[in-house]
Amino acid sequence: MAESPKAHFSDHFSVVAKGYAAHRPTYPEELLDFLASACARRELAWDCGCGSGQLSVALASRFQRVVATDASEKQLAAATPHPNVEYRRAGAEASGLEKGSVDLCVAAQAAHWFDLATYYAEVWRVSRLGGTIALVTYATPLIDEAVDRVIASFYWGPLDKHWPPERRHTEDGYRSLTFPFLEIEAPKLEIRMEWSLTEFLGYVETWSAILAMQKAEGRERIEGFRADLARAWGAEGTVKTVRWPIGMRVGRVG
């Protein structure tokens, strides 16, 4: 049984757990292929900070078993079940996994929330000799010139002060994180979704800064942004390609 998550866990997403499960983008097959190819064996993957399991379930197509951990009980309650995925409530520093048992330690859109020193210590403990660690992230979406201009004006303007400081690490693709492993060159990949305005706004509502702004200021500026975005998006029902460049730090353990 894994230890209970530490009390200092910063929970930015439990309140929107169902929305997170419904509206966060899915990861591309190319990412799964790369992560699998970086591992000598594919028996066990540990998805740390799994949220509602977007990557966990996808990894089950490449690994015999996936153990997916998160400190948020509500996020895990909204996770997609899969016969080869075991969900556990656990912090990044205490997975409950056996020493030397894991082929891939991966954290997707989560490592910037961790105490990295304790997480890395757990990675060293649970990894097989020569195992693989991968930190995966994405930040601001790219759509088209008109829509991107509206997003940037809001994101870097009134919303900026509401982002937790850890968010900056996603914006540089995790290059600012310490990474004490033998680094493997990662390909340039991106997430792509074909979304309507309604689908995109569902995703926006899962941003931690939106929740913080609503709590501090109410909904006025958020509703103004939604209206500006609707004008830039175009006719009702228009579907656009939404892209997120993927940032990765991938390395060999030991």
Per-residue pLDDT tens over the stretch 123-174: 999 999 999 999 999 989 999 999 999 999 999 999 999 999 999 999 999 9
Task: Provide the token pair at 213.
Answer: 């702004």
The per-residue pLDDT for range 77-112, each reduced to its tens digit, is 999 999 999 999 999 999 999 999 999 999 999 999
CA dihedral 221, 226, 232, 238 (to 10 degrees): 180
Domains of the chain in sequence order: 14-253 (3.40.50.150)
Model confidence band, residue 254 (pLDDT cutoffs 50, 70, 90): confident
Percentage of the chain lying above the pLDDT 90 cut: 87
Residue 19, pLDDT score: 59
Percentage of the chain lying above the pLDDT 70 cut: 91
Lowest mean pLDDT among 17-21, 137-141, 185-189: 17-21
Residue 21, pLDDT score: 58
How high does pLDDT run on average in the chain?
A: 92
HSE-CB at 1 with a 13 A cutoff on CA atoms is 2
| CB 193, CB 242: distance < 8 Å | yes
21-25, 30-34, 138-142: range with highest mean pLDDT: 30-34
Residue 18, pLDDT score: 59
Whether the per-residue pLDDT at 175 is higher than 50: the answer is yes
- Spatial distance between the Cα atoms of 123 and 120, rounded to a whole number of angstroms: 5
Measured in whole angstroms, the distance separating CA 95 from the mean position of its chain's CA atoms is 18
| CB 34, CB 132: distance < 8 Å | no
φ and ψ at residue 33, rounded to 5 degrees: -60, -45
DSSP state of 52: T
